[in-house]
Amino acid sequence: MAMPPAMPSKPSATVPDDIVELEVGAIAAGGGCVARGPDGRVVFVRHSLPGERVRARVTSETTSFLRADAIEVLVPSDDRVDPVCPHAGPGRCGGCDFQHVSLGAQRRLKEDLVAEQLARVGGVDLRVEVEDVGGAPGGLGWRTRVGFAVDSEGVVGFHRHRSHSLEPVASCPIATDAVNAAAVGSIQWPGARQLEVFASPDGGTPVVLVETGKRRLDGLPELEVGLVWKGRTLRSPDHVVVEVLGNRFEVHAGVFWQVHPRAVEVLTRAVLDGLGPRPGERAADLYAGAGLFTVALARAVGPTGVVTAVERSGPAVADLKRNSVGLAQVEVIRADVRPGLVANRIGRPDLVVLDPARSGAGREVLEALCGLDPAPRRMAYVSCEPAPFARDLKILLAAGWRLGSLRAFDLFPMTEHVELVGILERPDR
């Protein structure tokens, strides 16, 4: 009896730990490139580059996509380089997405990512150059502030990608020499959960902020560092000092400060150039941190102007007040930036700086700003996250604002991150 023809077999589902061969396509937000897996699902492939053919190990799955690590490169991209960091690679430190990418190609990939988010989320067709800011030869030695994880034995390291397991690390190639010289990985920290090392690019003793699950640390480590624990200074110093364009800033452990040594000057110049503050104008610096833009704006508008700085964190407000001593035109408000505050407490500013946390300012705050009458002359939106920036830009454009300029800076070499400064203008002012 004749047998029926065999049914064409459906490709079986790919599951974690499978090894698959993939043709790699465009970069995607999140540090991987996009490929199509054998079962038809999208695969986000870390440690790969557009145009490569790789063997990859599947690391996780959802119903709609897979994640994988390229473990062997069958056809390499011309942009591929050997990672400088011994901790980079599949299953290792989760910190740097681009250790295997030449610096020029890193910037092109970031340009692709920004253009993609602007188009898809913001509805804006624009490609901007990601500018090299200098100060990090080979993309290394730039992190003035590094957060380390600590395991239950007190060993210091970084979390592996999407994992709680620890890659022990004695020294990090993207950190500054001063951060590495603090040598927090040379000893164990029983009882600590996280450490943050902060070292001024201008010199001085680094400060280590310790987060611990215990009430006390088991003794003070014999390192040449200041130590802060639960807001208490165990050993001085508890802050670093940084000079920016002739202004002196004190920044305490735990208070936000830009991590790249060139960032503070580059961003201050970009904001001032974009806003063009005039003597006597009123400005609002929303999400002001330790006052980086507040002080620069205060000098620019002069004693006849006003700068209203809004910041929610108590320690940041203390630094902000200290950093703006002698500038009577600065008014500091410790509060959340909310629609009611924008409508009622910042006056009618000519200029606004928005430098929110990663999640962006959001619709309600932006609608309150758009409701100010008269409208500000210009706004500067500073962001380290293209997707929320693009979402917020769309809201501002819909309300009649125009994107006067957009600049992108490579403030985070070896990672997919990029800093944006958008200048928004009202055509009617």
Q: How far is the CB of 378 from ligand SAM (least distance, A)?
A: 17
Q: Which of 93, 172, 370, 384 is catalytic?
A: 384
Q: How far is the CB of 196 from ligand SAM (least distance, A)?
A: 15
Q: Among residues 185 and 289, whose Cβ is nearest to ligand SAM?
A: 289
The dihedral over CA atoms of 182, 255, 132, 143, expressed in degrees to the nearest 10, equals: 20
Cis peptide before 427 (omega within 30 of 0): no
Cβ 373 vs Cβ 402: under 8 Å:
no
Closest CA to 69 of 96, 38, 41, 46: 46
**What does the DSSP assignment read for 93-106?**
BSS-S-TTB-HHHH
Distance of CA 123 to the CA centre of its chain: 23
The letter for the amino acid at 324 is S
Distance CA 113, CA 127 (A): 10
Q: Among residues 117 and 268, whose Cβ is nearest to ligand SAM?
A: 268
Q: Among residues 213 and 314, whose Cβ is nearest to ligand SAM?
A: 314
Q: How far is the CB of 335 from ligand SAM (least distance, A)?
A: 7
Q: Does residue 384 have an active-site annotation?
A: yes
Q: How far is the CB of 222 from ligand SAM (least distance, A)?
A: 32
Distance CA 175, CA 181 (A): 10
Q: How far is the CB of 380 from ligand SAM (least distance, A)?
A: 10
Q: How far is the CB of 217 from ligand SAM (least distance, A)?
A: 26
Q: Among residues 167 and 265, whose Cβ is nearest to ligand SAM?
A: 265
In the complex, which residue's CB is closest to ligand SAM? 289
- Write a three-state SS string for 172-191: CCCECHHHHHCCHHHCCCCC
Closest CA to 146 of 113, 170, 129, 123: 170
Cis peptide before 137 (omega within 30 of 0): no
Residues of this chain that interact with ligand SAM (CB under 6 A) are 256-258, 287-290, 292-293, 310-313, 316, 336-337, 355-357
Q: Among residues 83 and 289, whose Cβ is nearest to ligand SAM?
A: 289
Q: Among residues 273 and 336, whose Cβ is nearest to ligand SAM?
A: 336
What token pair was written down for 132?
């090299």
Q: How far is the CB of 381 from ligand SAM (least distance, A)?
A: 11
Q: Among residues 58 and 242, whose Cβ is nearest to ligand SAM?
A: 242
Closest CA to 354 of 409, 305, 405, 288: 288
Q: Among residues 61 and 285, whose Cβ is nearest to ligand SAM?
A: 285
Q: How far is the CB of 144 from ligand SAM (least distance, A)?
A: 12
Cβ 133 vs Cβ 262: under 8 Å:
yes
Regarding beta strands 226-229 and 207-212, do their DSSP bridges make them parallel or antiparallel, or are they unpaired? parallel
**Residue 348, number of CB atoms within 10 A of its CB:** 11
Closest CA to 405 of 378, 386, 366: 378
The letter for the amino acid at 70 is A
What token pair was written down for 172?
């990090």
Active-site annotation, residues: 384
